[in-house]
Amino acid sequence: MDPFEFADSLRYIDDIRLKTFEVNPNKVNNYEAGLALNSLRISKEITPDIHASLHAVCSSLNLELYKVRAYVTSSPEIQAGCMSFNKDHCVLTVTSEIINLLSLDEIKFVLGHELGHFLLGHNIEEAQIENSLEANIKKRAQEISVDRIGLLACKDIDIATRAIVKTLSGLGDKYLNFDIQSFLRQLDSDLARNEDAGKYSSHPSFILRAKALLRFSLSDPYQKSINRTQGSSLSGINILIQNDLNKYIDRDLRQDIKTASGLVLFWGYAFAFVKGGSFSKKNQSILENKFGIEMKQKLVNMIQGKSSDSAMMEVKSGLMNSISDYINIAPNIAKRELNLMLIEVERNTGESGFFTEILTSIGS
């Protein structure tokens, strides 16, 4: 199977695929030129063992080796990265510290993880969700996806988890007694359940990553690929992982997105009723049943005693503000859902054509 298609089939549920673009080739050349001058290119002549690991990883992922140009940079930091601007090739970097810390088999996991970003097109996706709540969920989801590629590259859950533990702790084999269950029990801490900073991190915690990867190792695609046996449904495993992430990190962010979406619907119904001149007791009851008495009363208080034109402008302003907030919080979701949401309002209220101007103004 094509390596890009295979990687896409393993994509984690919240790593929603976005449109891709190609970057100016000069940017690629300038980036690699800096590495060529200041780093060591991985090759069979100079770094034969690392090169052999890279070759094995590419073979496992059915990826042509010539598409990967890999460098070791001198740094005390435990870091690795992969920059790609199209499907033709990528530039992979690992620091000297991570090379010295990990075994060659563990390095395969790191190399596969970084190549996962290339195979899934993460570097060339539209940047429309940057600096939004949705972006935090998406970026963490990307890491869950590429860990799966790393596991397929090293072909052993224990090796992959050791790589994660070592890069988390900075400790080598001398000081580690590897015990995955003890490592995962750190999630039982009450402190772990109240870790607010993680909500705004581009990476999930290492422990959640390890648990997600352990779940994936039981999946049908992994078991078929490695052991030629059947495993559990990947869709079911994705839900379990999503529940884990919601429990420790994502729940509040998802609720904020849900609230923003709900406000668009509320103001959409209100706008349809008010503009249609039919803010009757019956329609007030519809609002109350859908959104609660407090929201309904808020609208009543807002427009009470105002002329129809003034009331309509107030409600339209509420709708536009709610749409703007929704787009800021979750631009990619909003892009997919806004049209459908407002069409639903028109269908349920029997009022048609009310949102054409609004959808046009927001470019939907």
Domain end, chosen from 232, 266, 297, is at 232
Do 222 and 287 reside in the same domain of the chain? no
**pLDDT tens figures, 101-155:** 999 999 999 999 999 999 999 988 765 556 788 888 899 999 999 999 999 999 9
Burial of residue 330 (number of CB atoms within 10 Å: 0-12, 13-18, 19+):
buried
Domain end, chosen from 200, 232, 264, is at 232
Residue 135, SS3? helix
For residue 52, being part of any structural domain is answered with yes
C-alpha angle 173-179-203 in degrees, rounded to nearest 5: 85
For residue 110, being part of any structural domain is answered with yes
Domain that holds residue 293: 253-361
Do 262 and 117 reside in the same domain of the chain? no
CA–CA gap between residue 51 and residue 110 (Å, rounded):
14
For residue 242, being part of any structural domain is answered with no
For residue 287, being part of any structural domain is answered with yes
At residue 224, what is the residue type? K
DSSP calls for 168-193: HH---GGG----HHHHHGGGGSTTGG
Do 169 and 224 reside in the same domain of the chain? yes
For residue 9, being part of any structural domain is answered with yes
Do 191 and 323 reside in the same domain of the chain? no
Do 223 and 258 reside in the same domain of the chain? no
For residue 247, being part of any structural domain is answered with no
Do 65 and 212 reside in the same domain of the chain? yes
Q: Report the domain count for the chain.
A: 2
Residue 200's pLDDT band, with cuts at 50, 70 and 90, is: low
Do 279 and 215 reside in the same domain of the chain? no
Please provide the size of the chain in residues.
Answer: 364
**pLDDT tens figures, 230-287:** 999 999 999 999 999 998 888 888 999 999 999 999 999 998 888 766 678 888 898 9
For residue 70, being part of any structural domain is answered with yes
Do 344 and 226 reside in the same domain of the chain? no
Percent of the chain with pLDDT over 90: 53
pTM score: 0.85
pLDDT attached to residue 311: 86
For residue 201, being part of any structural domain is answered with yes
Do 226 and 288 reside in the same domain of the chain? no
DSSP β-bridge partners for residue 69: 91
- State mean pLDDT over 183-192: 63
